[in-house]
Amino acid sequence: MKLILHAMFAAAAALPIMPAQAATSYPTKPIRIVVAYTPAGTTDILARAVGQKMTEAWGQSVIVDNRPGANGNIGTELTANASPDGYTITMGTAATHGINNTLYPKLKWDAVKSFAPISLVAIVPNILVVNNALPVKSVRELIAYGGANTGKLNHGSPGQGSTGHLSAELFKASTGLKMTHVPYKGSAPTLADLVGGQIQVVIDNMPPYLPHVQAGRIRGLAVTTAKRSPAMPSLPTMQEAGVAGYEAGSWFGLLAPAGTPRGIVQKLSAETARILKLPDVSERLSSQGAEPVGGTPDEFANFINNEQAKWRKVIEQAGITL
């Protein structure tokens, strides 16, 4: 009998830790946040801000692992294939989890099926800016000018298929404005040519353009989110400027590989929500034009599904292929 009981206890000890137990003790080793872009970008900044506070709270190192390339697909695939134990997660973006599955139909991962959403972290507005020589001071004036000057407007973006590119396509589809797209390899050359007058219009992430608008080098017309940005409250939203129903921009959120225990996902989500409410974190992100959000895993999952549907419609209507 003792031998039987001993064998039973040994077998039980060999079983995997149950999800509830795993969540209670989690984390017991360093956590890796994969960033599918280069250092110093918005995705990297947000990952480090959240990771630093998790390290302080949990006493385990949270390491940011930059894996750039292929419009975010390399790092995202790495996370999708990682062990679903909560120790490899990613800072997903509007591109990786809202756009790329439509642009790249042969991807080996799925933005919905391959991941367990943790929490939306922040929404970053895109900003509609124009060269100072363009004789327009509002969105309505831009639309009227474009209608009276067919073929004269070029709009730049930081790349084919970027949120800036697709936000501009959504703007064109919503207003009937005709503009020629000029893709660049990043925001820096896009901004340089906008200031220099080689292109007249840009819709792109707010942070790189904000100081140039404030300095008067370029003119801001509107932000693309549903609410005004605290970083530049004088700028109207697209909807306030007359583009009914328009809402776009960039967003960033944490995701784990599919199959990660629910308890661990919920623990990460609750900790992220706590971090985003800290005054120093909130103030830091807001000053850069990012709106801290937070939320539950289910709320983030619904958000991703809506984003997929919205951008799929934009991509199909504009006939964008890569």
Domains parsed from the chain with CATH numbers? 30-123+249-318 (3.40.190.150), 126-223 (3.40.190.10)
Task: Please report the pLDDT score of residue 99 as a whole number.
Answer: 92
The pLDDT > 90 percentage for the chain reads 65
List strands edge to edge, sheet with 115-124: 62-66, 31-35, 88-93, 250-257, 115-124, 291-292
Question: Is the model's pLDDT at 11 over the cut of 70?
Answer: no
The pTM assigned to this predicted structure is 0.76
Query: Which position has the higher pLDDT, 69 or 90?
Result: 90
Question: Is the model's pLDDT at 3 over the cut of 90?
Answer: no
Task: Please report the pLDDT score of residue 37 as a whole number.
Answer: 81
Query: Which position has the higher pLDDT, 2 or 319?
Result: 319
Query: Which position has the higher pLDDT, 91 or 230?
Result: 91
Task: Please report the pLDDT score of residue 21 as a whole number.
Answer: 61
Q: Show the tokens assigned to 25.
A: 């003790």
Task: Please report the pLDDT score of residue 254 as a whole number.
Answer: 98
Give the pLDDT band of residue 287 (cuts 50, 70, 90): confident
Q: What is the pLDDT of residues 101-110, one digit of tens each?
A: 998 889 999 9
Q: What is the pLDDT of residues 127-175, one digit of tens each?
A: 999 999 999 999 999 999 999 999 899 999 887 778 888 899 889 989 9
Q: Any idea which of 13-22, 37-46, 220-229, 258-267 has the lowest mean pLDDT?
A: 13-22
Q: What is the pLDDT of residues 48-74, one digit of tens each?
A: 999 999 999 999 999 999 998 787 899
Question: Is the model's pLDDT at 17 over the cut of 50?
Answer: no
Measured at the CA of 62, the angle between CA 57 and CA 66, to 5 degrees, comes to 150
The pLDDT > 70 percentage for the chain reads 93
Residue 159: what are its φ and ψ, rounded to 5°? 155, 155
Closest CA relative to residue 43, chosen from 288, 260, 258:
288
Task: Please report the pLDDT score of residue 303 as a whole number.
Answer: 96
Report the pLDDT averaged over residues 171-189: 89
d(CA 188, CA 199): 13
Q: Which long-range contacts (CB under 8 A, 24 or more apart) does 238-242 make?
A: 238/128, 238/139, 238/171, 241/138, 241/139, 241/140, 242/139, 242/140, 242/143
Task: Please report the pLDDT score of residue 286 as a whole number.
Answer: 86
**pLDDT, the chain, mean:** 89
Contact yes or no for 155/178 (Cβ under 8 A): no
State how far Cα 225 lies from the chain centre.
Answer: 13
Task: Please report the pLDDT score of residue 295 as a whole number.
Answer: 95
